[in-house]
Amino acid sequence: MSRLIVMLTLGAALGLASPSARAADDAPLPALTIGPALRGAVPLPTAEADLPSVEAREYFKVSDKGLQLECPTFDARGDLLFCEVFGGTVFRLTPQKELTGFVPDADLRPAGLAVHRNGRVYMAELGDFADRGSVVSMAADGSDLRTVVSRDDGFLPDDLVFDKAGGFYFTDFKGGSSMPVGGVYYVGPDGGAPTLVVPNLRIANGIGLSPDEKTLWVTELAGGQLHRVALSDPTTIAPFGSSVVYTFVGGGPDSLRIDAAGNVYVALHGQGRIMVFNPSGFPMGQYLLPGRDKGHNLRSTSMVIRPGTDELLIFTNDWDKGMGSRIFVARALAQATPMSAAGP
């Protein structure tokens, strides 16, 4: 008996398997089955795949080159203004789709545009992409350039939005995923030094105000988050009024815009799509750009709603993939806010 026990013990120690165990070893290894919906270049996250979706259609091809198009807004004449960051060009596209452009200063790196009620165009620009950006204003044709926030002040302004009083908020595009050194600042109607409103952001990017101006919305590019900030006054966050209402899979929340119903549209840079949220921050749907599943038109940066309409224009570029820089169009959930037509 003792000899049998010793043999069984040795067999176990040497890994001698039973016939049923050997049969299991010969079976195919367990494998994942990945469906085609998750095999695209930028698959929709599972939590967002069932959101109502629509594919936008092409509206206008800006260039055969991959230009970093940003900062769309409309002036009082109804012309669409937008810019290209690295070349410093400000484009003007008429309702008849006549495109012109000008460079107000070859040293500027425009990332955000907004039109004041007096007709002057304000530009947030990224300067040296480190800590020497600025906010400038200019006449509608790019002349009469004036400094509003100096490069010597140490900011990196990326986007801006006016309130009805004539002041404006801008995002400070500094930091990284582990460096929360960016933020949101406010400059009052009479100018002066920027006042910090929202601190400790990881590359603050898009910014917008709700129609009643009681809520400030901000995207955090490196943090991959959407912030909803309730305001007591233009520079004061209401008690317990700041919250992260959404965290994006894959990151990339870029510029945002708000419609007359308070819905929030967020461009996802690198994903070729726009997500839309209700005024409480719940996702409601998404606009997809053609070619995204094959890796095209992924650099979706911004969008704007044409004043007096629900026409949503979406800006993207194909960078080095050969399809150039384009504007796409779809219907928004509501019309543009009056402020988006020509500032306060």
What does the radius of gyration of the chain's CA atoms come to, in whole angstroms?
25
Rounded to 5, what percent of the chain is helix, strand, coil? 10, 45, 45
Q: Which of 182, 207, 186 is nearest to 195 (CA)?
A: 186
Q: Are 96 and 148 in contact (CB under 8 A)?
A: no
For residue 99, what are its two tokens? 């495109």
Q: Which residues make Cβ contacts (< 8 Å) with residue 328, sequence separation at least 6? A: 56, 57, 58, 59, 287, 289, 290, 297, 313, 314, 316
Q: Do 158 and 171 form a contact (C-beta atoms < 8 A)?
A: yes
Q: Would you say 291 and 297 are in contact if contact means Cβ atoms under 8 Å apart?
A: yes
Q: Kind and range of the H or E element at 218? A: strand 215-220
Q: Tell me the CA end-to-end span of the chain in Å, nearest whole number.
A: 97
β-pair type (121-125, 53-55) = unpaired
Distance CA 284, CA 277 (A): 5
Q: How many CB atoms lie within 10 A of CB 137?
A: 17
CB 36 within 8 A of CB 76: no
Catalytic residue of the set 254, 259, 318, 320: 254
CA angle, residues 139, 265, 35, in degrees to nearest 5: 135
CB 52 within 8 Å of CB 284: yes
DSSP state of 43: P
Judge residue 211's burial from the number of C-beta atoms within 10 Å of its C-beta, 0-12 exposed, 13-18 middle, 19 or more buried: middle
Question: Is 254 in the active site?
Answer: yes
Active site residue ranges: 254
